[in-house]
Amino acid sequence: MFRLLFVISAFAAVLVTGLPSSRVVNGEDAKHVLNHHYVLTAAHCVKNAKSWEVHLGAHKRSLTHEPHRAVYKTTHGKAHPDYNQRNLNNDVGLLYFEEEVKYTAYVQPATVYAHHVSEDRTVVVSGWGLMNDHSAQPAETLQFAPLVTMKNKDCAAVYSNDVVKETVVCAKGVTNESACNGDSGGPLVLEDTHELVGVVSFGHAAGCEKGFPNGYSRVNTTPITRIVNGEEAKPGQFPHQVLLRPDTGNVISDRFVLTAAHCVKNMKSIEVHLGAHDRTNPNEDGRLVFNSTEFKPHEKFNLLANNDVGLVKLPEAVKFSDKIKPVKLPKNNNDKYENETAVVSGWGLEHTGGSQAPHELRFTELRVISNAECKKVYNGLIVKDSTICAKGEEKESACNGDSGGPLVHKETGELIGVVSFVGVEGCEVGLPVGFARVTKFLDWIQKNSV
């Protein structure tokens, strides 16, 4: 169970006081925006601030009692760890709400464009920023304007290669439309699908009305935190990862996949995808697909998630490749992992209650905690010696759909846990994740995988 909540402020109706207000030069009146537990903005908007008042569903900036507006306060802001204040590289940041934001007709999450946006695409920027270079006040009503994306090399000719990296997308107006001071952190979306492609980052020092392009942080390439610091994996980065619809597992030999018992209990057949990255594309290069009817849950597995390990036997031996390799199992029962870093990965939901799993494999880092600490949350009936728990420093977590997936020690590359359970309160509230402790099942695995 993994995958983190990533909700964004796009199509512009998140108004954050303490951040520059937004407005679009030569634009028109616009509509509303989005959000959930998180608002995506620019790193330079959150870097040195301590608190924010966030207005969702806003349209008129000063009309704070709009019936469709929801106002939240937060002290949780995070800039990208690799943000560079000098050249504005990795200029993305997140604001986090403790309580879950309710969606309405005026408050909705943005969809991130999953591909590399090419030049000459029509996009839309929106915000409450200055109307022109001589304005003293931000716009009263939310504005938007169409722009056209351009080649990075042409944009770099204006700003330099040091500023315009691969993580930047540039766009400019046909008749000098532009973002301006106060639009920082706002959305750049595709005109036809409204998918988010960029976050307003920088403009030209000569002014907003001179026809220069604006720079935006390209959201599908900037490794920003997803809900709780999840990142998209590179194809082949986790060659041991197995897609078991609807769960996941781990290649441990050329004939066996290790997963959770609750993933195979009472199953009659399972579709097994090895070498997968995009779960929706069965024709990926290097992917192998099998249908297995042989699997074995641990004999002592119960509904308290004790002994939650199981095996899937492949119908034929698999030839390993760059995309398909077995994970290393621990060599002995030495399982003193407390406070060490491990990596969890999977295709699970990005937030509790979500209906769509991500297309691409995702991962995040967790810190292993003691079972004594974990028992304070789940009690001793669930957390046994055969359990290992881990949690994120910034509420990273596994989620529904990550069951059976790997918890791999960051330094040794050994599989130390199999995703088993997370708190009923939800995946994004910061509770530890429970895993089957692999060192306690080495004999069982060896006995049943021959």
268 burial (CB, 10 Å; 0-12 / 13-18 / 19+) is exposed
Of the candidates 9, 21, 403, 420, the residue annotated as catalytic is: 403
- Is 298 designated active site? no
Tokens standing for residue 103: 């969606």
The yes-or-no answer on residue 359 being catalytic is no
Euclidean distance between the first and the last CA atom of the chain, given in angstroms as a whole number: 28
CA distance 419 to 401: 10
Report how far Cα 389 is from the mean position of its chain's Cα atoms.
21
Distance CA 118, CA 102 (A): 34
H helix runs in 294-429, sequence order: 371-378
3-state secondary structure of 389: strand
Active site residue 403: yes
Catalytic residue among 36, 55, 80, 262: 262
Peptide bond into 246 cis (omega under 30): yes
Q: Yes or no: say if 245 and 271 are a contact pair by the CB < 8 Å rule.
A: yes
Judged by DSSP in three states, 95 sits in strand
> Residue 40 has which token pair?
């995506």
Q: CB of 45 within 8 A of CB of 39?
A: no
Catalytic residues: 262, 308, 403
